[in-house]
Amino acid sequence: MTAEPTAAPGPGGEPDEAARQLYLAVLADGGRLPAADVPESEQDALRQLVDLGLLMPNPIDACYVAVSPRSVSDRLGAELRSEATRLLVRAENLPGALDGLTRAYDAMPPRPPERSGGAVYIEGHVHIRHRISQLVSDCRTEVLTAQPGHRPPDALKIALLQDVQLLQRGCSLRTIYQPIAVSEPAARAYAAEVTRRGSAIRTLDEPFQRLFVFDRSVAVISAAQDHSAAAFLSDPSAVAFLVNAFERDWARAESTDWAAAHAHGTSRDGPDRVGRLLARGLTQRAVATRLGLSERTVAAHISRLRDRHGAQTLFQLGWLMRGEQDGDAG
């Protein structure tokens, strides 16, 4: 006669609506529920009430008997308080349990650097990412980043995990993107999530260099055109100079509603920005450099613009776009 056990429905052990209605029906019938009277459709609700202790099986009378919610509440409350105490004790003991690992991490020998003028140079994308991940992990107060151009979706997935943990530790995170990021779905998704968690991301429609600053004590800049080498600077004067440059760019940058951009998309923004630069007379290569895009991506945007405007040549497209801008200005 005993109902099969099942998991409690709620985090605090509260019954769901179906179980509540069944319990009220049992009370209306005098607090007894004959086992034979429970239809198949109410078996899940019955199991919930039995698991919570609101109904007690009586095998002698082949029925279930209602139990006072007050006694159940006292019992579940004591269990939850006991579990909370256990978790608090675990939280208190966790630093000690990880103390040996923490000391080992702090004592980890650094990768042999190449030093020149106070800078530490690291070559290779893998080694650069690893060192930046360490700096993110060690950061305690603030990260400033300026990241022009395209960010690969896979890199954004990794960054999201790191940055969410950073924000959960109470650190601040400010980032400057170029407006082209608004046209990229992966960048919009990343930005929407981290800004929802307290980060701030603005866009700046100007060329700027890639930059990371951690706790205003370590700055990272590119040391190669293809970003295959990076300089890690800890000289206070150099770091202060780069922070001031970031703050100047941040003041000129524009805020973006990333949640709205992610929800609605802005698929035409990328081609339109390429078109505006073409209308100003920039070459395809210059447009790619200005927006931080590959020439292949710019070529794809130009192809879409040609189809949209019916242009046969790049010169004709620039002329049509320039005329369109003049018309808008008038």
Does 119 share its domain with 142?
A: yes
Question: Token pair for residue 301?
Answer: 């945007």
Query: 211 has which bridge partners?
Result: 146, 221
Task: Pick the last residue of a domain from 106, 131, 153.
Answer: 106
Per-residue pLDDT of the chain (330 residues; tens, 9 = 90+): 444 444 444 445 678 899 889 989 988 888 888 988 888 888 999 998 888 888 888 877 788 888 888 777 777 777 778 888 888 888 888 777 777 777 776 777 655 544 545 689 999 988 898 889 889 988 999 999 999 988 888 889 889 988 999 999 899 999 999 888 888 889 999 999 999 999 999 998 888 999 999 999 999 999 988 889 999 999 999 999 999 999 999 999 988 888 887 887 655 566 777 877 877 878 888 887 777 667 777 887 788 788 777 777 777 777 777 666 555 544
Residue 48, domain extent? 17-67
User: Residues 260, 275: one domain?
Assistant: no
What's the confidence (pLDDT) of residue 7? 41
Tell me: do 251 and 187 sit in the same domain: yes
Task: Give the integer Cα–Cα distance in Å for 42 and 104.
Answer: 57
> Is 6 a domain residue?
no
CATH number of domain containing 61: 1.10.10.10
Asked if residue 260 and residue 129 are part of one domain, the reply reads: yes
pLDDT of residue 296: 78
Please give the Cα distance from 163 to 106 (Å, whole number).
21
Same domain, 211 and 273: no
pLDDT reported for residue 62? 84
Q: What pLDDT, on the 0 to 100 scale, is given for residue 194?
A: 95
CB-based contacts of 72, cutoff 8 Å, min separation 6: 52, 53, 54
Chain position carrying tokens 């400033």: 144
Q: Are residues 254 and 121 in the same domain?
A: yes
Considering the domain architecture, whether residues 240 and 322 belong to the same structural domain is answered as: no
Give a yes or no: residue 35 inside a domain. yes
pTM for this one? 0.55
- Asked whether residue 4 is domain-assigned, the answer is no
**287 in any annotated domain:** yes
Structural domains of the chain, count: 4
Do 86 and 164 reside in the same domain of the chain?
no
Please provide residue 173's backbone torsions phi and psi, each rounded to the nearest 5 degrees: -140, 120
> Is 1 inside a domain boundary?
no
Q: Are both 124 and 171 inside the same structural domain?
A: yes
Residues 190, 260 within the same domain: yes
Q: Evaluate whether residue 43 is within a structural domain.
A: yes
pLDDT at position 265 is: 65
Query: Can you give the pLDDT at residue 114?
Result: 44
Query: Does some domain include residue 224?
Result: yes
Name the residue among 121, 124, 201 with its Cα closest to residue 159.
Answer: 201
Whether 5 maps to a domain, the answer reads: no
Residue 94 and residue 227 in one domain: no
Residues 166 and 131 in one domain: yes
